[in-house]
Structure 1
Amino acid sequence: MTTTASTTSLVYPYRYDVVGSLLRPDTLKDARGKFAAGKIPADELAAIQHDETQRVVTAQADLGFKAVTDGEFNRSWWHLDFLWGLTGVGHYDYHQSYKFHGEKTRTDNADLVGKIAFNPDHPFFKTFSALQAMAPAGVVVKQTIPSPSMLFRDNRSDNWSQFYETWDAYLDDLAKAYHQTIEHFYELGCRYLQLDDTTWAFLISQLNATADDATAHAKYVGLAEDAVRVINQVLNGLPTDLTVTTHICRGNFQSTYLFSGGYDVVADYLGQLHYDGLFLEYDSSRDGDFSPLARIWNHDTHKRLILGLITSKFPDLEDPDEIKAKIQQAAESVPLENLGLSTQCGFASTEEGNHLTEDQQWAKLKLVRQIAQDVWDC
């Protein structure tokens, strides 16, 4: 992210872009299961992961995408595997499923086991370098990691006072650890990084639910303000040729969701964030209308909003004309040149994946590309 928006031109996100995760193939799922059971060594799992990642990188490039991800094949959860790799974060059993509608998750979670710090041996650095080597010439590698706000939610920071005298000191360390982590990704060659975040959808739900309870409402206002503060601390001062975006999700597990509500109650906070782009979920009536977009964009000609109008949860293909009409409707709030298109989320935020086939996944991404090329002639 730039220290001042005017110092860099808008390159990413592209008009059509991959959010992040892709469906895990059975070969990889099987290998992970065998490794967990002690039936194959780590190097055999790594070889299978490498081959399957190379396959989906090639598939994304063949579909015409200018930025590719590793499908998040290096992790089991979209967020926890990264958080566990930070110094000061441990792994514990939450003993509860995350509250998705109609589906039960595994019960892994993360918590503080010491002061938060940058880990120069974070395993994601190795897999990023491997991904760089797989990408065809002229194709950009996009690295996805969870937002730092994901560490002060869902009981993950309940014991912060064991390690810090003040909450602010904890948040400062968290921001510093993330900033240094992103700087190291940059040193490894990363020029496009995305912070995935369900915190804003959580806040939408809670701010709406507590609208008539001033005390409870103030708690979530404080969390929103903390999220803005920490995220901007992370982003400020990064190299000017590094693009950082965010993806805002309402939950994505086996084709179901966690949260509902439009962006209106968090639009002003989102408008303060120093991102180059925001991927915004817009595939169902649970997401509200486009009226908050102007406040999220906040007249920043450098910033691009990517509309997640194509669902990754279900296989049926959307009507291209209906999607184009929605894009034009959104352009009444934000200039068309500052918009783009994607699926509403990835296809497998956890290794279980959504309820569609790999062929249906590629058909969804092909549709994203075709519609974007028609709308923006890109």
Structure 2
Amino acid sequence: MAKPFPAHADIVGSYLRPSYLHQARRDFASGAIDKAALTAIEDRAITELVENQKAAGLKVITDGEFRRAFWHIDFLENLNGVEGYVPEAGYNQQFKGKAAPSYNIRVNGKISFNAEHPFLNHFAFLQKLAENGDGSVAKATIPSPTMILRQEMLANDGSSSLQAIYPSLDEFYADLAATYRDAVKAFYAAGCRYLQFDDTNWAFLADATKQQEIKDKGLDPQEIATICARIINECLAEKPADMVITTHICRGNHASSWLFSGGYEPVAEQLFSTAYDGFFLEYDNDRSGDFAPLRHWSNNGSKVVLGLVTSKFAELEDAAVLKARIEEATQYIPLENLCLSPQCGFASTEEGNKVSEEAQWDKIKLICAIAEEVWG
């Protein structure tokens, strides 16, 4: 039986924060307001966001990641055995544009899921707002387990204690998988039926420059890609039949800047061997490569979500061009298995991309209109 999500008009997850939410975060950081006051303001902003998403025509609803500073770190540092820290230099000075704030995560103990993880309550708040009998579904977004692997093994700043904590990498891989199996169970118990793993690791492995850096460490990028696929499949091994889990493959997104280049070909075979229900792929510019890697997709009921609409810049895409690209993708994927979305979120870090809220909603409305024309 086909699952209704990803929807033909879908989204990655994050949205631009309203100015009053930015102010509230500054006030909280300075001590002018307490955590309860900040939470109340976040609740207000998320309530308005849910209404705006529905008004734009979306059936997939997120909380915009409004309670986070980063798309990934806020979740990861609340796992057992992972800590946030301030490195000597920004972890992402490689951004082709503005560097993000200097903050990152590292493993400081055996990794496991925290049963009191704050994201579970965040989802419960969203679900009450979003799912009210109109066919909408609340989507939770969390970083992939491979983000911890990449940070510790491929991109750490020299402060990693991974070898001391996990003398056996196989134990590290097993704990990553077990942690996320427990996360899936916890979100399911909280009522979540649409969960997304966000992941820059595949784009890292596909980038030619990064491939060479990996080889310089004495590692094989193809072997790492195979290990990542195995970890993800072990994470999904006990996924309930009525739960949809997708992934967004990101090339980096902060203040309209980016991290990685290159098409999906170097990792496509391993990526499409994973048991996700949907693959959100960035296809908004020449840096993304062509559709040829989609030939590795197998029709197991999953969907491919084409990120043809950029979230990085305000200029609105031409509808005719978008429809032509969807048609082009049908060389590899049946139309009914294709969907349309922005290439990424609009604010993977709380600063947000260099677009206005008006431009953001114009792009969402365009996606919904095209989906209606193409799929009905």
Whether TM-score is above 0.5 comes out as yes
How far the C-alpha of 1:173 sits from its partner, in A, is 0.9
Structure 1 counterpart SS, 2:65: coil
CA contact (8 A) 1:207 1:220 kept: no
Structure 2 counterpart SS, 1:153: helix
CA contact (8 A) 1:253 1:350 kept: yes
2:365 corresponds to which residue?
366
How far the C-alpha of 1:290 sits from its partner, in A, is 0.6
How far the C-alpha of 1:113 sits from its partner, in A, is 1.3
Q: Counterparts in 2 of 1:108-257, with a 5 A limit?
A: 108-135=103-130, 136-137=132-133, 138-155=135-152, 158-206=160-208, 209-210=211-212, 218-257=219-258
- In structure 2, what is the Cα distance between the partners aligned to 1:323 and 1:348? 23
1:5 corresponds to which residue?
none
TM-score (normalizing by structure 2) = 0.94
1:272 corresponds to which residue?
273
- 1:195-214 CA distances to partner (integer Å, 9 max, x unpaired)? 00000110011478539x97
Structure 1 counterpart SS, 2:203: helix
How far the C-alpha of 1:174 sits from its partner, in A, is 1.3
- For 2:112, the aligned partner's letter is A
Q: Counterparts in 2 of 1:11-50, with a 5 A limit?
A: 11-50=4-43
- Indicate the larger mover: 74-83 or 87-96: 87-96
- Indicate the larger mover: 174-183 or 193-202: 174-183
- In structure 1, what is the Cα distance between the partners aligned to 2:328 and 2:230? 32
Structure 1 counterpart SS, 2:272: helix
- 1:84-122 CA distances to partner (integer Å, 9 max, x unpaired)? 110111111122230111212111000111110110111
Match of 1:81 among 70, 74, 82: 74
- In structure 2, what is the Cα distance between the partners aligned to 1:310 and 1:9? 25
- In structure 1, what is the Cα distance between the partners aligned to 2:350 and 2:206? 26
- Indicate the larger mover: 306-315 or 30-39: 30-39
1:54 corresponds to which residue?
47
How far the C-alpha of 1:218 sits from its partner, in A, is 4.6
- 1:119-141 CA distances to partner (integer Å, 9 max, x unpaired)? 01111011111111111333100
Task: Report the aligned-residue RMSD.
Answer: 1.7
- For 1:102, the aligned partner's letter is G
Structure 2 counterpart SS, 1:265: coil
1:281 corresponds to which residue?
282
1:100 corresponds to which residue?
95
How far the C-alpha of 1:222 sits from its partner, in A, is 2.4
CA contact (8 A) 2:281 2:307 kept: yes
Question: Unmatched 5+ residue regions in structure 2?
Answer: none
TM-score (normalizing by structure 1) = 0.94
- In structure 2, what is the Cα distance between the partners aligned to 1:95 and 1:223? 27
Question: Unmatched 5+ residue regions in structure 1?
Answer: 1-7
- In structure 2, what is the Cα distance between the partners aligned to 1:196 and 1:229? 17
Structure 2 counterpart SS, 1:264: coil
- For 1:274, the aligned partner's letter is A
- In structure 2, what is the Cα distance between the partners aligned to 1:339 and 1:167? 37
Structure 1 counterpart SS, 2:267: helix
Number of positions where the alignment pairs a residue of Structure 1 with one of Structure 2: 367
**Aligned residues with identical type, % of pairs:** 45
- In structure 2, what is the Cα distance between the partners aligned to 1:102 and 1:310? 20
- In structure 2, what is the Cα distance between the partners aligned to 1:317 and 1:248? 22
Structure 2 counterpart SS, 1:154: helix
- Indicate the larger mover: 341-350 or 85-94: 85-94
